[in-house]
Amino acid sequence: MNTLLASSFSLPGQQSKYTGKVREVISLENDLIVMIATDKLSAFDVVMPKGIPFKGQILNQIATYMMEATKDIVPNWLEATPDPSVAIGKRCEPFKIEMVIRGYLSGHAAREYKLGKRILCGVPMPDGMIENDRFPSPIITPAIKAEEGHDEDISRKEIIKQGIVSENDYAVLEKYTRALFERGSQLAKDKDLILVDTKYEFGKTFDGMIVLIDEIHTPDSSRYFYEDGYAERQAIGESQKQLSKEFVRQWLISRGFQGLEGQQIPEMSEDYIEKVSDRYIELYEHITGNKFVKGDVSSIENRIKQNILTYLKSR
């Protein structure tokens, strides 16, 4: 199956191009940004060697769906999605932190908790919890975005002290993060899912408005549990049935890989890659309620370029 790991074309008026772990961000004149969601898979902040079919399309379309569903409470950067894997919007100055919010003791928080830690990013976690228990109220545990390697936990106090974000701007980020998580949790509940935790990224437009950028409520940025059976599984200490890329992380952990120095990335078979793709499609259909329509993958890069050019000519 064809996948897109990188694009090689240039666009009219292109000023710069940034390649992240999963997305490519092209800056154009007139303060436009083109974001291309590749099919790359990142886990433990390491990009896997092989792409996942349709992953870029799935992430982009879920993010678009969710931005439409939340734009009444938080402004966002998005203007158009001219291709299944492409979003175009306003250029912003990104804040150099990720706003991570957790409703449950899962993933990174659970791993830290098992090590005996009861403070995460300056936020206390109650004693006596077991993995996947719900927090009394959601906690915000920010991370500094790393250019390479692992993002790092950081507290609200340190963010403000180091001048990474001003106190006034951070108050807005915190308010928006809680509002988005509340809306996202309700959207998930409507589909019999639980939004366990997620991250949001924000930027500031050149006229000073703080807006939501990047992806939102996707399986790469979020963790979902099935609501049906959650309480029963939790009561007997059984693993939760979930829709997120945590299943990939657990697969890697079981094979001795957590992104640490000296560890080798396990080989992903074609069968396993197809299963990962199917899980991403399952989440798309479950969280949006829409049937997933696979894009044309005969020449993904050419399709993307032509759709972007058509849109730019029509503006």
Higher pLDDT, 190 or 220: 190
Whether the predicted pLDDT of 35 surpasses 60 = yes
Q: pLDDT value at position 219?
A: 82
Q: By percentage, how much of the chain surpasses pLDDT 70?
A: 98
Q: pLDDT value at position 249?
A: 87
Q: pLDDT value at position 243?
A: 78
Residue 234 makes CB contacts below 8 A (sequence gap 6+) with: 130, 132, 133, 240
Angle among Cα 203, 222, 163 to the nearest 5 degrees reads: 35
Higher pLDDT, 190 or 282: 190
3-state SS track over the chain: CCCCCCCCCCCCCEEEEEECCCEEEEEECCCEEEEEECCCCEECCEECCCCCCCHHHHHHHHHHHHHHHHCCCCCECEEEEEECCEEEEECCEECCEEEEEEEECCHHHHHHHHCCCCEECCEECCCCCCCCCEEEEEEECCEECCCCCCCEECCHHHHHHCCCCCHHHHHHHHHHHHHHHHHHHHHHHHCCEEEEEEEEEEEECCCCCEEEECCCCCCCCEEEEECCCHHHHHHCCCCCCEECCHHHHHHHHHCCCCCCCCCCCCCCCHHHHHHHHHHHHHHHHHHHCCCCCCCCCCCHHHHHHHHHHHHHHHC
Whether the predicted pLDDT of 13 surpasses 80 = yes
Contact between residue 96 and residue 144 where contact means Cβ atoms under 8 Å apart = yes
Whether the predicted pLDDT of 146 surpasses 80 = no
Q: What is the mean pLDDT of residues 75-101?
A: 96
pLDDT band at residue 18 using 50, 70 and 90 as cut-offs: very high
pLDDT in tens, 249-259: 889 999 999 99
Q: pLDDT value at position 247?
A: 83
- Domains of the chain, residue spans: 14-92+267-314, 94-247
pTM exceeds cut of 0.75: yes
pLDDT in tens, 292-315: 999 999 999 999 999 999 999 998
pLDDT in tens, 197-215: 999 999 999 899 999 998 8
Contact between residue 254 and residue 28 where contact means Cβ atoms under 8 Å apart = no
Dihedral sign from CA coordinates of 168, 173, 179, 181? negative
- How many Cβ atoms sit within 10 Å of the Cβ of residue 283? 23
In terms of Cα–Cα distance, which of 178, 175, 173 is closest to 159?
173
Domain spanning 14-92+267-314, CATH architecture? 2-Layer Sandwich (3.30)
Whether the predicted pLDDT of 149 surpasses 60 = no
Mean pLDDT taken over the chain: 94
pLDDT band at residue 245 using 50, 70 and 90 as cut-offs: confident
Q: pLDDT value at position 220?
A: 82
Q: What is the mean pLDDT of residues 284-294?
A: 94
Higher pLDDT, 156 or 220: 156
In terms of Cα–Cα distance, which of 193, 216, 196 is closest to 286?
193
Same fold for the domain at 14-92+267-314 and the one at 94-247? no
Least confident of 87-91, 157-161, 281-285: 281-285
Q: What fold does the segment set 94-247 form as a domain?
A: D-amino Acid Aminotransferase; Chain A, domain 1 (3.30.470)
Higher pLDDT, 201 or 145: 201
pLDDT in tens, 232-243: 999 999 999 887
Q: What is the mean pLDDT of residues 74-78?
A: 97
pLDDT in tens, 176-198: 999 999 999 999 999 999 999 99
309: Cα separation from own chain's centroid: 27
